[in-house]
Copies of this chain bind each other. A is one copy, B any other.
Amino acid sequence: MTTRQHHIADDLRRSIESGGFAVGERLPSETRLAEHYKVSVPTLREAMSVLKAEGLVEGIHGRGNFVREPHRIPYAHGHKMADSTLQVSVDVRRVKASGVLPSLLRVPAQSSLTEYEYVSYLQRSALSMARVYVPRSVAKLAIPKPSLPRAGRSPWGDDVQDLLAAAGIHVATTVERLVSRLPSTEEAQLLRSTTPVLVVQRTSSDAAGRIVAGAFVVLAGDRTEVIFTNHTHVEAPRGTR
């Protein structure tokens, strides 16, 4: 009942987790593994893509497939990042609202926005791309010159919230909507991976309910996890909750 690709993926996963292959070690080439399991190369590649999506294996074009520690960088908007091994670049520009942006930000089409584009890198491959938008009707934020990748900055565009706060605009509510999809060609090139991506659509409102910022974040699904923390406000326990 189980397919060959999953049978192979399960077998390789067991080999890796039981220590048959060390972290950082190169797996046998796909051709060799296909011979070993007596399947065709495309079938073996399907099995490999299961392990890649789990973060257990990293494929490097031209070099091989490598066993990976399945550590994932946590995406948690508004929380300070502990990880400072990420290089983050920023690019800022003025754009006109189009596509889904007018409905995301509840502004008229073609209205002026400030766009912040963050790209984070882990070694040579990108880990995330975040585009944060602030309507210029909300705040006419300054547009500094773009900065090269550097460490210690939030990869998710959290500093836009700080800029807004400095301008006297305080975010009261943030709603995040998350889906999974396959990467576009451009995303696959940047992330150096064709595993599924996590896409976060984020809208921030002030206490009056006005949308003051919106964002799209694309995360490499094999190297990131999304963390949400919810503190239930517990009053005195009553009969109904």
Contact = CB atoms under 8 A, between A and B. Distances in A.
Given A53-B196, A165-B241, A168-B237, A229 B181 contact: no
A48 to B, nearest CB: 11
A240 to B, nearest CB: 9
Contacts of A234: 170, 172, 207
Tell me whether chain A's interface is mostly helix, strand or loop, or mixed: mixed
Contacts of A18: none
A178 B199 CA distance: 12
A180 interface: yes
B207 A221 contact: no
Contacts of A123: none
Interface string A206-241: 010000000000000100111111111010010001
Contacts of A175: 227-230
A174 interface: yes
A185 interface: yes
Interface in A161-212: 162, 165, 168, 170-182, 184-185, 196-198, 207
A114 interface: no
Contacts of A1: 185
A146 interface: no
Contacts of A49: 182
B53 A180 contact: yes
A114 to B, nearest CB: 20
A205 to B, nearest CB: 10
A226 to B, nearest CB: 4
A2 B175 CA distance: 33
A226 B178 contact: yes
Nearest to A42: B42
Which of A171, A172, A176, A177 gathers most chain B CB within 10 Å? A177
A28 interface: no
Interface of A: 1-3, 6, 42, 49-50, 53-55, 72, 77-78, 162, 165, 168, 170-182, 184-185, 196-198, 207, 221, 224-232, 234, 237, 241
10 contacts: A2-B185, A49-B182, A53-B182, A53-B196, A170-B234, A173-B230, A173-B231, A180-B180, A180-B198, A180-B221
